[in-house]
Amino acid sequence: SQNVKILKMNGYCESTDVIMTCNINNGRALRNNTVIVVNVTLDGTTLIGDQLVITAQLSSSGKEIEDADNRHTHAIELKRFSEVDVRGLYNPSYFDIDKQDGTSVIKSK
C-alpha cells in the first residue's frame, strides 16, 4: 500500500494516513443499487510504482446479510509524463555556424 497524500475530499469524509472514512447518506439506510459518489483528489507527486490500488468498503451499524459484497478493490495503472523545457545559450566563443550550400554547419572551436 502506498502512503498517498489526500489533497481534497468530500465534506462528510475524514482522513488519517491512508484510510479515508466517509459518513454517507447521513446515517440513513441505503436501498439496493444506490450509487454514491465520493470525490477525492490525491497528490500525484507522491505516487510511486506503476499502479495505485484503491479499496472501498461499505459497512453499516445493522446486521449484514451478505458482507462479502460490501468491498470492492480497483487498481489504477499509473503512467509518468515529464515536461522538459530545453533552453540554449549561444556563445560565439564556443560555436561557429557556417552556411554552406543552403545547409548550416555547426563547428566547435
pLDDT above 70: residue 91: no
Question: Is the pLDDT reported for residue 98 higher than 70?
Answer: no
10 grid coordinates: 468530500
Of residues 63 and 90, more confidently modeled: 63
Tens digits of residue pLDDT in 9-64: 777 888 876 778 888 777 777 777 888 888 888 887 778 888 888 888 887 777 77
3-state helix, strand, coil in the chain (%, to 5): 10, 40, 50
Nearest to 62 by CA among 35, 25, 36, 33: 25
**Distance, CA of 100 to CA of 96 (rounded, Å):** 12
Distance CA 53, CA 7 (A): 17
Nearest Cα residue to 76 out of 55, 52, 100, 42: 52
Amino acid sitting at position 109: K
How high is the pLDDT of residue 106?
Answer: 59
Q: What is residue 1's predicted lDDT score, i.e. its pLDDT?
A: 46
